[in-house]
Amino acid sequence: MFNIWDYWAGRYDRLWVQKYSLKPTREYIIKALSKYKNTEGLRVLDLGCGPGELIRDLTREFKNLDVTGLDFSERMIEISKERNPSAKHLLMDASDLNVLDEEYDIIISTHSIPYYKEPGDVFKNLYRILKPDGRIFAVFASGNSLYDKLILGFVKLTTGRANYPSDIEFRRIISPFFKVENLEIIRKKFFMPRIGAYTLIKVKS
Ligand X SMILES: C[S@@+](CC[C@H](N)C(=O)[O-])C[C@H]1O[C@@H](n2cnc3c(N)ncnc32)[C@H](O)[C@@H]1O
Residues that bind ligand X (CB under 6 A): 5, 22, 25, 48-50, 53-54, 71-73, 76, 93-95, 110-112, 115-116
CB of 173 to ligand X, least distance (A): 15
Measured from the CB atom, the residue of 54 and 136 that comes closer to ligand X is: 54
Q: How far is the CB of 95 from ligand X (least distance, A)?
A: 6
Cβ closer to ligand X: 29 or 38?
Answer: 29
Residue 90: CB minimum distance to ligand X, A? 9
- State the Cα–Cα distance between residues 164 and 176, nearest whole angstrom: 20
Give the residue with the Cβ less far from ligand X, 115 or 137: 115
Shortest Cβ 56–ligand X spacing (Å) = 11
* 3 state SS for the chain: CCCHHHHHHCCHHHCCHHHHHHHHHHHHHHHHHHCCCCCCCCEEEEECCCCCHHHHHHHHHCCCCEEEEEECCHHHHHHHHHHCCCCEEEECCHHHHHHCCCCEEEEEEECCHHHCCCHHHHHHHHHHHEEEEEEEEEEEECCCCHHHHHHHHHHHHHHCCCCCCCHHHHHHHHCCCEEEEEEEEECCCCCCCCEEEEEEEECCC
Minimum Å gap between C-beta 69 and ligand X is 9
Q: Which residue is nearest to ligand X (CB)?
A: 50
- Residue number, 42 or 122, with CB nearest to ligand X: 122
Q: How far is the CB of 37 from ligand X (least distance, A)?
A: 26
Burial of 150 (0-12, 13-18, 19+ CB in 10 A): exposed
